[in-house]
Structure 1
Amino acid sequence: MAKKNLFTRRQTLFFWSSMFVSISVLTSKNALEPRQIYPLNKNFVASGNMSLGKRALIKGLLYGAAVNKDSLSANPQLVASVAKECAIIVSEWELKWNFLRPTSTSFDFMPADWLADFARTHGLLFRGHTLVWHEAMPKWFLKTINSKNAKQLLLEHITTVVKHYAGNIHSWDVVNEAINLQDRRSDGLRKTPWLQFIGRDYIEIAFRAAAEADPKAMLVYNDYGLEYDTPEHEAKRKAVLNLLKNLKSKGTPIHALGIQSHLSGNETRFNSQKFQKFLSEIANLDLKILITEIDVKDKNLPVDLKVRDRIVAATYEDYLSVVLDEPAVIAVLTWGLSDRYTWLSEYQPRRDGAKVRPLPLDANFKRKLAWNAIARAFDNAPYR
């Protein structure tokens, strides 16, 4: 399919599904079936039964998912699904400060070590998320940090954690979400304690410390809100690009950009040409690109699963078809694998009380149309 037509299909699908909802409300007794409004026979056929991980590897890509110890240790079905579908996993919680740092002078590696062992046992690569972030911080942090100890605190944390996993980590999200244009700084940086007490060089300091602690790990800057053709996303793309250019100009050991890609099923403002240009600009900085946290929010989509699942699937396929055309893209990770375990159940629930369905597998670990859509995107991607 020609790239210029990619989003026309989903815009049409969403328009008619929205019409279905409106007509259903107005004609309660004789409500039209979805198939009477839109041909719902598109089934996103994916050839064969090969896992997402294997399909991706054939093209020189990595597919994986975010996982956590509690869910894996409690559910053998999730274990089997992750082992079958993934080639790489990323820690959802266990490598964030509030898990690793019970006190300012101690580290608790047990939960993260469990995940590292899980990855090793099942032959999976392991990603680290995240070394520097303004959220998920322990209660002691704000009471302790000041201009005298901030740099040492940052260096000690990064050095200790990265050395602990040296040789066993595919990539680290070294700095996460450092751009926030609402803070109205000329450089676009988010006002965080790290910025306040260290200055804008805290980002470069973090990457250099991580590289020294593990010279073989891929070091990633990770952020969200970059995908759509809106003034906000356009401005953020520019700010992220400027940040990366600045880091590269200083010889900072940064290897990749992580694009979170928390997509919205009802959002149609996607410009494939503009986004391809952004990806190309990143690649021209000699950086790889990882899609680090992709899922599709369905909170504003119709409750009807025939419609909703097709819009979610189309969102995945349309977006990934554009993204995977860029050779610098080397990995796609969904933020979770099964709808049973998704952060969106809590943070982006549906108003009608229906269960959210943003991921490749349903709550019973069955493959959905979203799985098919991702499989098709991998199958159609060029070889790396």
Structure 2
Amino acid sequence: MNRRFFLQTAATVLGTQWLSTAKPSWTHPLFMAMVDPALEAAIPLSDRAAAKGLLYGAASTARKMQQDAAFASAVARECNLFVPENDLKWKALRPSPEQFDFTRGDWLAAFAQAHGMQFRGHTCVWHEALPEWFDQVVTHQNAEQVLTEHIRTVVGHYAGQMHSWDVVNEAIDPVGQGADGLRDTPWKRLLGADYIDIAFHTAAAADPNALLVLNEYDLDYDIPRDAAKREAILRLLRALVARGVPVHALGMQAHLRAAETDFDPVVLRDFLRQVADLGLKIMVTELDVVDQDLPRALHPRDLAVAHTYQSYLDAVLQEPAVIAVLTWGLSDRYTWLTNFRPRSDGAAPRPLPLDSLLHRKPAWSAIASAFDQAPSRLISN
């Protein structure tokens, strides 16, 4: 690729200010990803993360891993942490009120163990992905029993195997949801705000060694919606810690938007520091980059996505409390954005480190560069 054309294209997508600030060279990792065939032989993301005391992982499903050996091999190569995308959600685990089906989760746990990866759970409590029988069976009278039985059974089943659990997922909605900032979910309607405390206490009793996480989205940008979310999550975390609820970490989903301009690393780092000051760890749990509003052309689109990864991780990884980064998927071959954030031009989205042919992209190189430049943690988590 002609260097001048490449820089002009990058300037069109990202703006000349970024190019002058970043002081690009033809050997910059983002550029090398497009021209250097040796990238395929470079050190995997798992090893780069581990060198700094971090974990890198990705999400997928048992079916995809079982049916696609090449993809499973890429996951084993790139990751030292794995999370089931759907296989540990209520709908997957609970075919009936009396039955638990651990078939897919157990297969993934065995895969992770066989390949030296740590395993994490997603999710104990969420307002979506509930089984069809839920509304007919769960009432105000039995809701606490149903919730605690589920968590005791599922978390207990994997006790000793889990690095961490997303115990409560997406509990915050500060706009129009009342003074407490909590989302109006089936669990809140049935049990009140106490459902969060109940869930964490039950999970801690079922597996005292797992890191217990409160997972949330829209915490990343310097816009009113995200600012309100950050304030609400801080209020909730402070209250949980003050009550002695065993919450150990904040999970930041980080579904980023490459066309978004309202990203302020200073604001984000200040938020992370406030979380860390509560004595909590931080995990980036569902990272990907939406390319919905970017040009169709692959090179400028890939570069913009890569720049989003790099700028976000460069800010986040400065906080020592951040212990892990997980992308929500590894390859563009399998991404939820195909159905949930489709492009108007019909082009396949390209939000992840590997392309649909499992080749490393500029996004991979951006993540690798962010790990390489991150401060070392003293202890790998």
1:212-241, Cα deviation, whole Å (9 max, x unpaired): 000000000000000000011001000000
Any conservation in 1 of the 2:10–2:303 contact (CA below 8 Å)?
no
Per the TM alignment, residue 303 of structure 1 is displaced from its structure 2 partner at its CA by 0.5
The 10-residue stretch of structure 1 (365-374 or 43-52) with the greater mean CA deviation from structure 2? 43-52
User: Does the alignment pair 1:64 with 2:60?
Assistant: no
Cα distance change on mapping 1:322 and 1:144 into 2, 3 Å: same
- Which of 89, 93, 97 lines up with 1:100 in the alignment? 93
Instruction: Count the aligned residue pairs.
Output: 354
**Counterpart position of 1:329:** 322
Deviations 1:56-82 (A, max 9, x none): 000000000001111100111111101
Which residue identity lines up with residue 72 of structure 1 in the other structure? M
In 1, the alpha carbon distance for the partners of 2:205 and 2:136 equals 29
- Counterparts in 2 of 1:134 and 1:173: CA distance versus 1, 3 Å: same
Pick from 9, 13, 16 the counterpart of residue 17 of structure 1. Answer: 13
Q: Tell whether 2:110 aligns with 1:117.
A: yes
Q: How far, CA to CA, are the matches of 1:173 and 1:18 in structure 2?
A: 35
The answer to whether residue 203 in structure 2 is matched with residue 210 in structure 1 is yes
* Equivalent-residue separation in structure 2 for 1:162 and 1:239 (angstroms): 27
- Please say which of residues 41-50 and 263-272 is displaced more in the overlay: 41-50
Hey, what does 2:150 align to over in structure 1? 157
Distance 1:127 1:58, change over 3 A: same
The equivalent of 2:80 in structure 1 is 87
Partner of 1:298: 291
| Unmatched runs of 5 consecutive residues or more in structure 1 | 1-11, 20-38
Does the Cα contact within 8 Å between 1:89 and 1:125 map onto a contact in 2?
yes
Distance in 1, matches of 2:79 and 2:95, equals 31
Q: Say which SS state the counterpart of residue 182 (structure 1) adopts.
A: coil
Q: Hey, what does 2:260 align to over in structure 1?
A: 267
Query: With structure 1 as the length reference, what TM-score do the two structures score?
Result: 0.89
Determine which of 132, 141, 152 is the counterpart of 1:148.
Answer: 141
**Structure 2: which amino acid aligns with 1:162?**
V
Between the aligned partners of 1:356 and 1:269, the Cα distance in structure 2 is 22
- Per the alignment, in what secondary structure is the counterpart of residue 162 of structure 2? coil
Aligned to 1:7: none
The 1:247/1:219 distance shift into structure 2, 3 A limit, reads: same
Q: Which runs of 5+ in 2 are unaligned?
A: 1-7, 16-23, 34-38
Identity of aligned residues (%): 53
Shift of 1:285: 0.3
- Change in 2 beyond 3 A, CA 1:159/1:193: same
For normalisation by structure 2, the TM-score amounts to 0.90
Whichever residue aligns with residue 116 of structure 1, its letter is A
Q: Is the CA contact 2:140–2:191 (under 8 Å) kept in the aligned structure 1?
A: yes
Tell me what 1:235 maps to. 228
- 1:343 and 1:14 mapped to 2: Cα distance? 27
RMSD of aligned Cα (Å): 1.8
Cα deviation, residue 159, structure 1: 0.3
Q: Is the counterpart of residue 200 in structure 1 residue 159 in structure 2?
A: no
Contact 2:84 2:105 in 1 (8 A): yes
Per-residue CA deviation, residues 94-133 of structure 1 (Å, 9 max, x unaligned), is 0000000011111111111111111111111001000000
Give 1:183 shift: 3.6
Matched with 1:350 is 343
Question: Is the CA contact (8 Å cut-off) linking 2:14 and 2:304 kept in structure 1?
Answer: no
Q: In 1, Cα distance between the equivalents of 2:212 and 2:318?
A: 23
Q: Give CA deviations for 1:118-155 in whole Å, capped at 9, x if unaligned.
A: 11111110010000000001110011111100000000
